Amino acid sequence: MTAAVPESRPSVEGTRAVQTTGTSTALRIAGVFVVAGLAALAIWAIHADLNSVIGRRAFLWALLFAFAPVIPLGAAFLWLDRMRPEPTKFLVLALLWGALGATYVSLKLNAWLAAQVGDLHVASARSAVFIAPWVEEPAKAAVIFAIVLWRRHDFNAVVAGVVYGGLIGIGFAFTENIVYYGQLFQQVYTAGDSDAALDAVRSLFFWRGVAAPFVHPMFTMMTGAGIGFAVRHRHLGVRILAPVAGFCAAALLHMGYNTIASFAVREELVAVYVAILLPTLLALLAVLLLVRRHERALVAARLTDYTAYGWLKPTQISYIATTSGRRAARRHAKQFGRAQRDRVRQFQRDGTELGLVRDRIVRGVAGRAELPREAELIAAVREHRRHVLLPDGSSSARDELSTAGSSW
């Protein structure tokens, strides 16, 4: 009788764990189907709107030209996110929302508002400057707010906001370029000259796809940065004003770009590009690299809190929080095979996450799940320490580790 009691408890707990896992899997599958269904609905709706003005041949050429900048731009933002990668499902969601949801909402609202100001047939410069930015930027940024609300205590601050904003902008520009390229091709092709139609699209592609493919990502990056900045602070004023400031910066940049595109002739576009657009992009990139450098320093500082308990060695922090250290650790692990390389990579990711969790706790913006998450990450880092092989021999299989459960 007494021996049966401990046996029954694990059985119940195991059943609950299986039920929880099954429920979680079912929810994930349902979520995939919902997102796929909404994406298919948006594709059908956009196609129905454009089918009458863009022929199949025009659409295929437009699709080819519009897709060209997607891969290099997407790779750049994934590179920026490599220290602590955001979940793939949310990255895909951001890209799809930009390409489908935000585009469709913007097409409808832009057309309706343009009609209200008298642009019944063709959008004028007035609509492009004073309507489009204030419609498109909220439509694009909506999904960033949704992601933050869903995982507000697990959001990697400014860099995450920038990455999500950039991917949304890439998706939005992709679909918008299909519209522009397709309409231009169809207009010239209808006049009876297919070669001239292709030349016209190439000329537009040089500007939108080669010289300035970054404009939509750059706009939405501003809103994403504001949201990411707000997540890191407790002060209510900062949490309200930072996203508003980011959105206003995005909309004003968008207005400025549309003004240039609407009124400048070709020779003036080159001058404006060199004098304004390119310096603006370079300045934003410089600020972003400084922010990422600051976040790495912050992770290193927060991880130092754990060295007193023996959960990390001071020498191991550089292999988690610095670019040179991370690269050296992975290069060293290659000689021991793929399993060791994957272990080092996971050690770095868990260590980075631990530093970010610690920062949220210190700042007072952590949720109820944060302390249990900290404990899980401490356990994971301690386990990695026993097996990971690092360049300076600081692998910890023989180390005497602290048995303290938590320090706070």
Task: Please name which of 256, 261, 382, 394 lies closest in space to residue 310, comparing C-alpha atoms.
Answer: 382
Using one digit for the tens of pLDDT, what is the confidence trace for 45-90? 777 777 777 888 888 899 899 999 999 999 999 998 888 888 888 9
Residues 52 and 162 in one domain: yes
Residues 308 and 232 in one domain: no
Using one digit for the tens of pLDDT, what is the confidence trace for 361-375? 888 887 777 888 899
How many angstroms separate the CA atoms of 80 and 20, rounded?
35
Whether 407 maps to a domain, the answer reads no
Residues 100 and 146 in one domain: yes
Q: Tokens 């390389």 correspond to what residue?
A: 341
Residues 34 and 173 in one domain: yes
Residue 35 pLDDT more than 90? no
In this structure, of 47-51, 100-104, 322-326, the range with the lowest mean pLDDT score is 47-51
Structural domain including 70 reads 22-263
For residue 402, what pLDDT band results from cuts at 50, 70 and 90?
A: very low
Mean pLDDT of the chain: 83
Using one digit for the tens of pLDDT, what is the confidence trace for 214-229? 999 999 999 999 998 9
Whether 364 maps to a domain, the answer reads yes
Residues 92 and 158 in one domain: yes
For residue 397, what pLDDT band results from cuts at 50, 70 and 90?
A: very low
Q: What is the pLDDT of residue 19?
A: 45
For residue 311, what pLDDT band results from cuts at 50, 70 and 90?
A: confident
Distance of CA 249 to CAs 161, 223, 276, Å?
A: 15, 8, 15
Whether 275 maps to a domain, the answer reads no
Q: Tokens 């707000």 correspond to what residue?
A: 230
Using one digit for the tens of pLDDT, what is the confidence trace for 179-209? 999 989 988 888 777 788 899 999 999 989 9
pLDDT, greater one: 114 or 153: 114
Distance of CA 325 to CAs 303, 322, 331, Å?
A: 15, 5, 10
Task: Please name which of 148, 119, 341, 107 lies closest in space to residue 230, comparing C-alpha atoms.
Answer: 148
Residue 20 pLDDT more than 60? no
Q: What is the pLDDT of residue 8?
A: 40
Using one digit for the tens of pLDDT, what is the confidence trace for 382-395? 888 888 888 876 55
Q: What is the pLDDT of residue 218?
A: 94
- 73 SS3 class: helix
- Our CA dihedral for 23, 25, 28, 33, rounded to 10 degrees, sits at -100
Q: What is the pLDDT of residue 223?
A: 95
Residues 314 and 190 in one domain: no
Using one digit for the tens of pLDDT, what is the confidence trace for 116-140? 887 766 667 888 899 999 999 999 9
Residues 44 and 159 in one domain: yes
Cα torsion angle, 305, 311, 313, 317, sign: negative
How many angstroms separate the CA atoms of 21 and 25, rounded?
6
How would you class 248 by CB atoms within 10 Å of its CB: exposed for 0-12, middle for 13-18, buried for 19 or more?
Answer: middle
Using one digit for the tens of pLDDT, what is the confidence trace for 260-309? 888 877 777 888 888 888 898 899 889 888 988 888 999 999 999 888 88
Q: What is the pLDDT of residue 32?
A: 67
Whether 345 maps to a domain, the answer reads yes
For residue 91, what pLDDT band results from cuts at 50, 70 and 90?
A: very high
Residue 367 contacts residue 234 (beta carbons within 8 Å)? no
Q: What is the pLDDT of residue 226?
A: 94
Residues 73 and 197 in one domain: yes
Residues 83 and 173 in one domain: yes
Residues 218 and 168 in one domain: yes
Residue 89 contacts residue 168 (beta carbons within 8 Å)? no
Whether 210 maps to a domain, the answer reads yes
For the chain, give the percent of residues with pLDDT over 70.
Answer: 86
Whether 280 maps to a domain, the answer reads no
Residues 226 and 313 in one domain: no
Whether 78 maps to a domain, the answer reads yes
Q: What is the pLDDT of residue 377?
A: 92
Residues 64 and 199 in one domain: yes
DSSP 308: G
Question: 213, 234, 263 — which closes off a domain?
Answer: 263
Residue 404 pLDDT more than 50? no
Q: What is the pLDDT of residue 109?
A: 92
Whether 406 maps to a domain, the answer reads no
Question: Inter-axis angle of helices 314-321 and 323-334, to 10 degrees?
Answer: 90
Question: 263, 286, 319 — which closes off a domain?
Answer: 263
Residue 344 contacts residue 388 (beta carbons within 8 Å)? yes
How many domains is the chain partitioned into structurally? Answer: 2
Residue 344 contacts residue 329 (beta carbons within 8 Å)? yes
DSSP 83: S
Question: 246, 263, 280 — which closes off a domain?
Answer: 263
